[in-house]
Amino acid sequence: MSNKYDTIVVGGGHNGLTAATILANHGQKVLLVEKRSIFGGVAAGEEFHPGHWSTGLLQDTGSVRRNVITDLSLEKFGLETNGKRASTAILGKQGKCITISDDETQTAQSINRYSEKDSEAYLTYKNFITKITPFIRDIMDQAPPDLVSMGTGDLWQLAKNGLKLKRLGKATMMEFLKVAPMSVQDFLDERFETDFLKAGMSVPAVQGSFTSPRSAYTTLNLLLWECLSSDEVVGGPQALTSALVKAAQKSGVDLKSDSDVRQVVLDEQRKVKGIRLDNGEEFFANKVAATCAPQEAFFQLLEPNQIEYSLEHGIEHFRSRGTTAKLNLALSKPLRFNGQEDDAMFARTGNSWLEMEKAFDPIKYRNFSSEPILETHNTGKAPEGCATFSILVHYAPFELEGGWTDTARNELTENIIDTLSQYSPEVRDSIVGSELLTPIDLKERYGLPNGHIFHGEHAVDQLLTRPIPSCMQYNTPINGLYLCGSGSHPGGGITCLPGYLGAKRILKT
């Protein structure tokens, strides 16, 4: 393996693999280094109990963009999509369940069992989503304009975006401008009357954020999820990772695992000249694409005297307050939730605004809820006749009062199982193994700042100027250093877009 490259990619998650393959496909000699023994990052499935494999940390592949799949020719490497969004069971107590599927008519029929008014309201809601989706996709699927220097091209991009907004039509445009700043509770209360439906629908709006449904601008997060989520990858995150690794290998990327980067090396003019690993090995390139969190890129891979105060201050205040834990359950048999109509891939709890607010309140005081909000995923690998459930748990603080002791871990696990048992009473007796990942564990395993699943919160001020204005277009004030991970536009989740758009930016420089 040569030690001289055009670009070195730090991090072998879905964004790193995407960026490396794009660069290699355009003739660059690329090295990708990953500190773990496996590739995939938060999308890497792992065995946590004999024969039972998790899907990784994140579960939803519905936001992987079609242009990424096409440009990387991932279908040639075994990737398949099912052509529709995965079904989600919205769970209420007393055996209530509504299945939200890609078929709007079927979803409306499921809702109609509880409310005829909400059944009709859902179709109106989806009509609004359909109208604004092209506008949202255009904004989020392209590199943001440079709001700092504002060149001619950036002004033209802003003008085009303004025209796209106007072309929605006056009624739709005004509705979007009205609802985007709203709390998701107010937004859904205006449209629906069924408590557990509203609570379950709102979960994507608060996922990974230090917010409750009553927080301002949470409607914007819900609209982004609704507009950007579409085809689910068959086989989930593991299938995506497998295809990305094969594509990178085919393109000629040098993949190097078990390689922890100690330092991004700069020359006397503070220009990137390469990297140094923990074992002392050095590799040289005048461009480094960091797909780790911005905090790690600037505070761990660079010396303190190599960054300006304004950059340091901005990154220090990029909000990354981890609020999510993950529980993987190995089960002796497949489970169905009470009232579940079909084999929905996902399920969400919440039940009511009051219960969601009670789940959020403890985190403000560095505690976790006795009845957390859960998002389950049931497609992890398991032995025949058994099942694997992966559960995202909201809310759990990074800095728990008293620390994440064994007692605290056991208590949270029991709270999760007790909550899940309200929707599937057989779950406790079916558990043969489990793995709890607290926000502390997420930081240690995946390098997530404060255990934040998206590298940083999806707040309105941390989206288009993500992570900070001077780094919002993937390049940074450090000549040759680029940010191509979830801390960059358009944010976290399994999309591959930060790596894709970041690589496109590198190719232009």
The contacts of residue 206 (CB under 8 Å, 6+ apart) are: 184, 212, 213, 215, 218, 221, 356, 360, 373, 394
pLDDT at 83 over 90: no
Q: What is the pLDDT of residues 213-235, one digit of tens each?
A: 999 999 999 999 999 998 899 99
Q: What angle do CA 39, 49, 348 make, to 5 degrees?
A: 80
**Which of 363, 447, 370 shows the shortest CA–CA distance to 399?**
363
Whether 376 and 340 have beta carbons less than 8 Å apart is answered as no
Q: How many alpha carbons fall within 13 Å on the CB side of residue 209?
A: 27
Tokens (6 digits) for 69:
């799949």
- Structure confidence at residue 470 (pLDDT): 93
The structural domains of the chain, ordered by start, are 7-81+234-319+448-508 (3.50.50.60)
Integer Cα distance of 222 and 4 in angstroms: 44
Integer Cα distance of 131 and 495 in angstroms: 22
The contacts of residue 298 (CB under 8 Å, 6+ apart) are: 307, 311, 312, 315
Integer Cα distance of 446 and 57 in angstroms: 9
Element (H, E) at 464: none
pLDDT at 355 over 90: yes
- 187, with CB counted inside 10 A (0-12, 13-18, 19+), is buried
What is the value of pTM for the model shown?
0.94
Tokens (6 digits) for 255:
């993949």
Q: What is the pLDDT of residues 448-495, one digit of tens each?
A: 999 999 999 999 889 889 999 999 999 999 999 999 999 999 999 999
pLDDT at 152 over 70: no
**Residue 408: helix, strand or coil by DSSP?**
helix
- Structure confidence at residue 492 (pLDDT): 95
Sheet with strand 30-33: strands edge to edge: 254-256, 30-33, 7-10, 288-290, 481-483
pLDDT at 163 over 80: no
